[in-house]
């Protein structure tokens, strides 16, 4: 092996080992090309931009409720490095998301589907789970790999800049100018459901309401609920959640 090849090999090995990450609870190996610091700063930036473009609701009963439930779930999420915020935004779409660093945004549209605290906890836990498992960063890494190792290398070496904002926004499903969130993969959706249920359990919410929440969402499917274009496959997901809850209740 030539020295150059050897160096390249060692470098890629270092790159690979420094970029592997494990999901909490589910312990799945991930390849993530962003550091936590880069991820958090992109999250902060994107959150500010999102709020600047949104009608933020404060001081109402609903806004306070979102904060209260979010804070209760955040307490069991074990991420003291996150600077949690829970914001209600006027938007008729039935959707919510959580950016890296714990920036949770809930659309008012979801309030008509999440009928009580436990159901609101279901959607908030699910979105927090995506952030804990770094699904956006994982997706961003995949798209960076697709764009070429050189770009990925730049990110790893820390030359993060505005040119990555677009990749970030796409990866994290922030097409806020369209008000439409991009879908996560099915595997990431299942994982967020699973981690979300663990969070709900630890925070002391009623797990059976999770099933009711997803059923409510499913019933609204014919009305063209946006959430379902981003969170597909409702029958299977409800069955999976039911099975997990049954397992947890028997242990």
Minimal distance, residue 224 CB to Zn ion, in Å: 18
Q: What pairs with residue 99 in β-bridges?
A: 103
For the four alpha carbons of 124, 128, 129 and 135, in that order, the dihedral sign comes to positive
Residue 43 burial (CB count, 10 A): 23
Q: Which is nearer to Zn ion, 192 or 244 (CB)?
A: 192
Torsion of CA 93, 105, 100, 211, to 10 degrees: -70
Q: Which is nearer to Zn ion, 132 or 152 (CB)?
A: 132
Q: How many Å separate Cα 166 from the centre of its chain?
A: 17
Query: Does residue 110 sit in helix, strand or coil?
Result: helix
Rule CB under 5 A: which of 156-215 touch Zn ion? 192
> In which element (H, E) is residue 188 found?
helix 186-202
Count of residues in contact with Zn ion, rule CB under 5 A: 1
Minimal distance, residue 132 CB to Zn ion, in Å: 12
Minimal distance, residue 35 CB to Zn ion, in Å: 24
Q: Which is nearer to Zn ion, 72 or 139 (CB)?
A: 139
Q: Which is nearer to Zn ion, 67 or 126 (CB)?
A: 126
Minimal distance, residue 237 CB to Zn ion, in Å: 10
With tokens 């299977």, the residue in question is 236
Minimal distance, residue 184 CB to Zn ion, in Å: 5
18 and 152 Cβ atoms separated by less than 8 Å? no
From residue 102 to residue 131, the character string flagging contacts with Zn ion as x (rule: CB under 5 A) and all else as - is ------------------------------
Q: Which is nearer to Zn ion, 110 or 192 (CB)?
A: 192
167 and 143 Cβ atoms separated by less than 8 Å? yes
Q: Which is nearer to Zn ion, 192 or 199 (CB)?
A: 192
Strands 85-89, 103-107: pairing kind: parallel
Minimal distance, residue 192 CB to Zn ion, in Å: 5
Rule CB under 5 A: which of 6-45 touch Zn ion? none
200 vs 17, 70, 91, 221, 248, CA distance in Å? 32, 11, 25, 24, 12
Minimal distance, residue 223 CB to Zn ion, in Å: 19
Q: Which is nearer to Zn ion, 168 or 172 (CB)?
A: 172
235 and 218 Cβ atoms separated by less than 8 Å? yes
Query: Which residues would be at the binding site for Zn ion (CB under 5 A)?
Result: 192
């Amino acid at each position: 092996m030539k020295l150059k090849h050897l160096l390249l090999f060692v470098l890629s090995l270092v790159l690979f080992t420094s970029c592997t990450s494990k999901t909490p609870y589910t312990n799945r190996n991930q390849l993530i090309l962003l550091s936590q610091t880069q991820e958090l700063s992109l999250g902060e930036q994107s959150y500010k931009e999102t709020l600047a473009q949104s009608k933020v609701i404060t001081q109402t009963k609903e806004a306070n409720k979102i904060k209260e439930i979010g804070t209760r779930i955040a307490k069991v999420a074990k991420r003291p490095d996150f600077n949690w915020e829970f914001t209600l935004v006027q938007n008729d779409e039935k959707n919510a998301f959580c950016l890296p660093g714990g920036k949770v945004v809930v659309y008012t549209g979801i309030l008509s589907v999440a009928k009580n605290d436990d159901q609101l906890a279901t959607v908030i836990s699910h979105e927090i789970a995506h952030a804990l498992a770094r699904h956006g960063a994982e997706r961003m890494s995949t798209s960076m790999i697709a764009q070429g190792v050189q770009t990925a290398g730049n990110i790893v070496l820390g030359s993060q800049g505005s040119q990555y904002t677009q990749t970030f926004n796409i990866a994290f499903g922030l097409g806020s100018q369209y008000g439409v969130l991009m879908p996560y993969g099915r595997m990431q959706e299942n994982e967020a459901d699973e981690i979300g249920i663990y969070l709900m359990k630890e925070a002391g919410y009623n797990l059976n309401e999770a099933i009711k929440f997803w059923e409510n969402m499913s019933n609204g499917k014919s009305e063209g609920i946006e959430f379902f274009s981003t969170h597909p496959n409702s029958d299977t997901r409800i069955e999976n959640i039911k099975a997990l809850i049954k397992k947890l209740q028997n242990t």
